[in-house]
Chain A
């Protein structure tokens, strides 16, 4: 009985202490990072975001409100010297985590000219959006962004270009009313 109680306590404690970031960056990205020319990992937790939001004012009011609600912003970016240094199999572990019932694939853009793919997933729980995941694939660059917390697709433009999030990301509410909409770039 004691052992069972101890096991239950450990499981509960582990669940309570689990980090807020729910999407794990696969181990294969560590190997990719070793090959990459430039690696940037940005990690802003709730405490840091709330602190930063206190100093936003004026024209940043929307962004301030948005940032103060988020639980975290996590950006992982890899830039390679040559093309073809990463494959779909390196990205699949992230996509797999976004296949759950809570994640909705809302945007999918393939730019043939620039050979750029952008996919955006929205986390919906009880009809509320509780997170967003953005995966940007370019011939020499791979970027994964996880915005943890209440955020709507229309909010993305407020954060784009800040906090290490790629610039020029914008999704209109109309476009997200149907799955796999288009993104303006």
Chain B
């Protein structure tokens, strides 16, 4: 059964389009854990509030009733990186046992633009996957204080 599951994940990764991103991770989570994502209706309404923040092109997928277990984070991280491919670079990983929170941040630099992909698992909110583009200034803030990046991502939701 485990082999079958791994085979399905491998095939889903292999069949992913050349441009990997949030959909690749959502597909991986859905196959690996048999869960379904919930989109966020009316996300476009938040766009005006993002003007000036240096953040654009935000996409969000939520798995509200699902949490990643601590013992599973290592192998999930490996699979996420494998599915996304070498163009995505793991930037930061944070695990807090007390809060039951895990965050993985990956970045992709392409054509003078930085895309960031955030996978978080929180005790109250479940698993959230976010993809966004960062301006130079926003990137500078996030890179300067990587630990605040997770909190920045929470405030974007």
List residues of A whose CB falls within 8 A of some B CB: 30, 33-34, 36-45, 47-48, 51-52, 54-56, 75, 81, 162-164
Q: Are A38 and B139 in contact (CB under 8 A)?
A: no
Please pick, from B89, B137, B147, the residue contacting A40 in the complex, using a CB distance under 8 A: B147
How many angstroms between the C-alpha atoms of A44 and B89 in the bound complex? 8
Inside 8 A of B64's CB, which chain A residues have their CB? none
Q: Are A30 and B74 in contact (CB under 8 A)?
A: yes
Inside 8 A of B143's CB, which chain A residues have their CB? 44, 48, 52, 162-163
Interface residue B124 (Cβ < 8 Å from any Cβ of A): no
Given contacts A52-B139, A75-B146, 8 further A-B contacts (CB under 8 A): A38-B94, A39-B93, A51-B114, A52-B140, A55-B136, A163-B146, A164-B92, A164-B146
**Majority SS at the chain B contact face:** mixed
Q: Are A47 and B89 in contact (CB under 8 A)?
A: yes
Q: Are B89 and A43 in contact (CB under 8 A)?
A: yes
Interface residue B96 (Cβ < 8 Å from any Cβ of A): yes
Q: Are A41 and B93 in contact (CB under 8 A)?
A: yes
Interface residue B19 (Cβ < 8 Å from any Cβ of A): no
Q: Are A38 and B144 in contact (CB under 8 A)?
A: no
How many angstroms between the C-alpha atoms of A30 and B96 in the bound complex? 14
Closest to B104 in A: A41
Smallest beta-carbon distance A62→chain B, Å: 15
Please pick, from B71, B74, B96, B107, the residue contacting A37 in the complex, using a CB distance under 8 A: B96
Interface residue B18 (Cβ < 8 Å from any Cβ of A): no
Please pick, from B92, B96, B139, B144, the residue contacting A41 in the complex, using a CB distance under 8 A: B92
